[in-house]
């Protein structure tokens, strides 16, 4: 690479000397030029190294520019900077009368080009090195050569400084690239933080109304229960609308959504003074939380809230009359944080309010708690259900988006009690978990599912695992032993867990997930978006796929926010190398939206209801996707 060198001296002979030292005549070697110059400058010049002794000198490509005074040198330096072709080195004579001397010349050139290496060439100077350094520093870019100079030394100095200049420029470019990369990473970090904050907000707020959702309400309720002895009493309310279904049926879902937003606004305004919360739990169901000293105050505020909601609404140019029912429970100061679930008690009160007619308010009392006897009956029946062959595992197909074919089945537990009839999993599973019967049920379901999986040609089975099962020390080893005994490859078994399982004890959960993946099992995070997930932290867990909760799927085609959540989750999963299963697909609109969003798998009544073992085996052996466009029938039971 050719580099530019500036020579500043008022003596023409010195310019000739620089030309012979730093410039090579065509056809002549660098050694010949040095030898000729040495003979001319020194009567008894240094001996020239004979050819063949030591390494040959490299012919450096110096492009020399000459100035006979400081003013001309400054002009050349300015022109070089404007042209984008700066000088690497400037050799400057100190004493250059008339005009500016070498010190001033060096200072001005340094101001123009901070990166240039300056060599002060002098036999005698009116200025000392300290004065020159102060004017033309920094000292690491300032050097000195005495007259008469040594030819070899001057050339080596020029070569070294030019190479240093090139290295400095490379380093500067590298620093610029690194700085740009740092800025890009900082911008990306800010974007990720903003997305994280938005995702956290979306995970704890209802997309339709913007109100807190069930997760946020449960968190606030837990904090209130812990502080009940310090903050005083408070009330919990469960409210739903009495005529909401009629609005959806007659005016459509858009009107229903608008009504929900209006009701939420009135509830928020009517909650009254003091700290409180209005949360939308889903559909037309809301949860309330507010301070209250006694039952009289609770009922009075409840009546005001119901009156505020039970009125006429102008919805999409239609007058709509809606009433509301409210169940309340008073949590008194000093209440035990581990006492019965107050939301369940508020639900019991709501049931009594709806039995009493529209626009009713009921405060919970113990006479309402007949559910305790029912729970005892359910627990006793569960203990005998396996022996009495009242339990059944049914299987719902899971469809791969790309091939539109069945690739697996989710195992779902059903109970047809001789005493109570069909009991939904949402009723008996929580009781099984509280009573530790979940371990017996889980082992039975796993054994049944593995036995059926052997009948399928290559499909995987997805098994739901509760938090209590997952926390057992021998969970992974016991599961691996069962799968090995069934002669099934672990990669045909998918374990479904909920977000609560992970975040109750994240370190232990991470280790269990790692062991599951190491053993070859697939792991799916069920009901994603309804629990405690941090989208930014979910990457730290060994997961194969995320299952988007049905509540988000229901809003597709009606709520812009629902589509935004589905797209965000799908994009996140793809970026982390995970699949996405969309649950609860029931309509063609939902199906198309989810396929376009990039969900890797689909599941729901649109593709098939849960079926018994024989029907499932026939479907698996047929190798065909089920008929599409099905709708939930009257006997359809949701997943546990």
Q: Tell me how far CA of residue 51 lies from CA of 17, 29, 57, 312, in angstroms.
A: 23, 11, 11, 109
pLDDT higher than 60, residue 635: no
No. of helices (H) and no. of strands (E), the chain: 23, 21
pLDDT on residue 542: 80
Do the domain assignments include residue 190? no
Pair (402, 548) in one structural domain: yes
Q: Where are the beta strands (DSSP E) in 484-611?
A: 493-498, 522-528, 545-548, 579-582, 601-602
Reduce the DSSP state of residue 398 to 3 states and report it.
strand
Do the domain assignments include residue 386? no
Q: What is the CA radius of gyration of the chain?
A: 41
- Closest to 418 (Cα-Cα) out of 447, 378, 445, 457: 378
- Positive or negative, the CA dihedral 5, 8, 13, 14 is negative
The span from the first CA to the last CA of the chain, in angstroms, equals: 74
DSSP label at residue 337? T
pLDDT higher than 90, residue 274: no
- Distance, in Å, from the CA atom of 436 to the CA atom of 290, rounded to the nearest integer, reads 34
The burial of 518, by beta-carbon neighbours within 10 Å (0-12 exposed, 13-18 middle, 19 or more buried), is given as exposed
Do the domain assignments include residue 635? no
- Closest to 640 (Cα-Cα) out of 376, 378, 432, 500: 432
Pair (310, 350) in one structural domain: yes
Pair (503, 452) in one structural domain: yes
Pair (454, 325) in one structural domain: no
Do the domain assignments include residue 564? yes
- Closest to 499 (Cα-Cα) out of 533, 524, 470: 533
70-129: per-residue pLDDT in tens?
A: 999 999 999 999 999 999 999 998 887 767 888 899 899 989 999 999 998 886 666 667
Q: Please, which pLDDT band fits residue 360 given cuts at 50, 70 and 90? A: very high
The pLDDT of 603-623, averaged and rounded, is 93
Pair (226, 136) in one structural domain: no
In SS3 terms, 238-300 reads as EEEECCHHHHHHHHCHHHHHHHHHHHHHHHHHHCCCCCEEEEEEECCEEEEEEECCCHHHHHH
Pair (161, 278) in one structural domain: no
Pair (354, 413) in one structural domain: no
Sorted by sequence, the CB contacts under 8 Å of residue 269 that are 6+ apart come out as: 308
Are 39 and 45 contacting, i.e. CB atoms less than 8 angstroms apart? yes
Are 398 and 411 contacting, i.e. CB atoms less than 8 angstroms apart? no
Per the prediction, the chain carries an average pLDDT of: 83
Q: What percent of the chain is predicted at pLDDT more than 90?
A: 42
Are 554 and 562 contacting, i.e. CB atoms less than 8 angstroms apart? yes
- Cβ neighbour number for residue 531 with a 10 Å cutoff: 18
The pLDDT of 473-477, averaged and rounded, is 94
The domain boundary, picked from 172, 193, 225, lies at 172
Q: Tell me how far CA of residue 504 lies from CA of 225, 464, 521, in angstroms.
A: 18, 17, 22
505-521: per-residue pLDDT in tens?
A: 677 888 999 999 999 99
The domain boundary, picked from 119, 142, 172, lies at 172
pLDDT higher than 70, residue 429: yes
Interstrand relation of 460-464 and 421-423 (parallel, antiparallel or unpaired):
unpaired
Return the CATH number at 165: 3.40.50.2300
Pair (364, 400) in one structural domain: no
Q: Tell me how far CA of residue 284 lies from CA of 250, 304, 380, 427, 550, in angstroms.
A: 16, 19, 34, 21, 16
Pair (298, 400) in one structural domain: no
- Kindly report which listed range (179-183, 279-283, 537-541) carries the lowest average pLDDT score: 537-541
Are 145 and 117 contacting, i.e. CB atoms less than 8 angstroms apart? no
DSSP label at residue 366? G
Do the domain assignments include residue 332? yes
311-329: per-residue pLDDT in tens?
A: 889 888 888 888 899 999 9
pLDDT on residue 131: 72
Reduce the DSSP state of residue 383 to 3 states and report it.
helix
- Distance, in Å, from the CA atom of 271 to the CA atom of 308, rounded to the nearest integer, reads 10
Pair (103, 144) in one structural domain: yes
Return the CATH number at 581: 3.20.20.450
Of residues 572 and 9, which shows the higher confidence score?
Answer: 9
Cis peptide before 311 (omega within 30 of 0): no
- Positive or negative, the CA dihedral 165, 166, 169, 175 is negative
Pair (235, 145) in one structural domain: no
Pair (538, 464) in one structural domain: yes
19-49: per-residue pLDDT in tens?
A: 988 874 434 444 454 454 445 444 444 443 4
Do the domain assignments include residue 606? yes
527-585: per-residue pLDDT in tens?
A: 776 655 555 557 778 889 999 888 888 888 777 778 888 888 888 888 888 999 999 99
194-230: per-residue pLDDT in tens?
A: 878 777 778 889 999 999 999 899 988 888 887 765 5
How many structural domains does the chain have?
3
Return the CATH number at 298: 3.30.70.270
Q: Please, which pLDDT band fits residue 282 given cuts at 50, 70 and 90? A: confident
> Can you give the residue range of the structural domain that contains 121?
3-172
């Amino acid at each position: 690479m050719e580099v530019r060198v500036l020579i500043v001296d008022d003596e023409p002979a010195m310019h000739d000397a620089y030309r012979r030292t730093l410039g090579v005549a065509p056809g002549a070697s660098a050694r010949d030029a040095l030898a000729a110059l040495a003979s001319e400058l020194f009567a008894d010049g240094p001996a020239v190294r004979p050819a063949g002794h030591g390494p040959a000198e490299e012919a450096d490509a110096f492009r020399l520019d000459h100035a006979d005074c400081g003013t001309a040198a400054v002009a050349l330096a300015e022109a070089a900077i404007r042209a984008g072709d700066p000088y690497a080195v400037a050799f400057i004579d100190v004493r250059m009368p008339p005009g500016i001397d070498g010190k001033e010349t060096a200072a001005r050139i340094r101001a123009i080009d901070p990166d240039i290496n300056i060599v002060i060439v002098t036999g005698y100077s009116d200025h000392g090195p300290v004065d020159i350094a102060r004017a033309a520093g920094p000292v690491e870019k300032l050097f000195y050569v005495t007259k008469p100079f040594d030819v070899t030394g001057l050339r080596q100095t020029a070569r070294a400084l030019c190479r240093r200049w090139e290295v400095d420029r490379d380093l500067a470019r590298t620093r610029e690239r690194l700085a740009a990369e740092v800025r890009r990473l900082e911008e990306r970090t800010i974007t990720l933080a903003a997305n994280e904050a938005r995702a956290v907000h979306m995970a704890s707020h209802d997309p339709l109304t913007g109100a807190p959702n069930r997760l946020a309400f449960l968190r606030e309720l837990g904090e209130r229960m812990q502080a009940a002895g310090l903050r005083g009493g408070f009330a919990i309310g469960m409210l739903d609308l009495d005529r909401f279904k009629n609005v959806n049926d007659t005016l459509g879902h858009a009107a229903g959504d608008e009504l929900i937003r209006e009701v939420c606004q009135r509830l928020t305004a009517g909650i009254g003074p003091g700290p409180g919360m209005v949360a939308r739990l889903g559909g037309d169901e809301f949860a309330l939380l507010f301070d209250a000293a006694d039952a009289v105050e609770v009922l009075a505020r409840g009546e005001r809230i119901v009156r505020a909601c039970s009125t006429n609404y102008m919805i999409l140019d239609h007058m709509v009359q809606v009433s509301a029912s409210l169940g309340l429970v008073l949590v008194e100061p000093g209440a035990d944080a581990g006492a019965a679930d107050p939301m369940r008690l508020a639900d019991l009160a709501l049931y009594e309010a709806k039995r009493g007619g529209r626009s009713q308010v009921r405060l919970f009392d113990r006479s309402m708690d007949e559910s305790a006897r029912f729970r005892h009956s359910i627990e006793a029946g569960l203990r005998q259900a396996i022996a009495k062959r009242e339990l059944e595992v049914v299987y719902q197909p899971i469809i791969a988006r790309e091939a539109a074919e069945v690739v697996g089945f989710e195992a779902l537990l059903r109970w047809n009690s001789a005493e109570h009839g069909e009991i939904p999993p949402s009723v008996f599973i929580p009781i099984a978990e509280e009573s530790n019967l979940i371990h017996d049920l889980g082992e039975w379901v796993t054994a049944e599912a593995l036995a059926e999986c052997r009948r399928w040609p290559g499909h995987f089975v997805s098994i739901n695992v509760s938090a209590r099962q997952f926390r057992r020390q021998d969970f992974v080893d016991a599961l691996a032993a069962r799968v090995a005994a069934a002669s099934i490859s672990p990669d045909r078994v998918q374990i479904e867990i909920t977000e609560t399982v992970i975040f109750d004890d994240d370190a232990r959960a991470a280790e269990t997930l790692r062991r599951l993946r190491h053993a070859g099992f697939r792991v799916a995070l069920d009901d994603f978006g309804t629990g405690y997930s941090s989208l930014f932290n979910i990457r730290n867990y060994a997961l194969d796929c995320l299952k988007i909760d049905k509540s988000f799927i229901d809003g597709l085609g009606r709520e812009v926010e629902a589509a935004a959540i589905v797209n965000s989750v799908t994009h996140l999963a793809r970026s982390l190398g995970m699949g996405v299963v969309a649950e609860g697909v029931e309509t063609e609109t939902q199906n198309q939206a989810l396929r376009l969003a990039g969900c890797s798998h689909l599941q729901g009544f649109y593709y098939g209801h849960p079926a018994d073992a024989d029907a499932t085996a026939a479907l698996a052996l047929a190798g065909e996707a089920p008929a599409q466009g099905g709708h939930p029938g009257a006997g359809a039971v949701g997943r546990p």
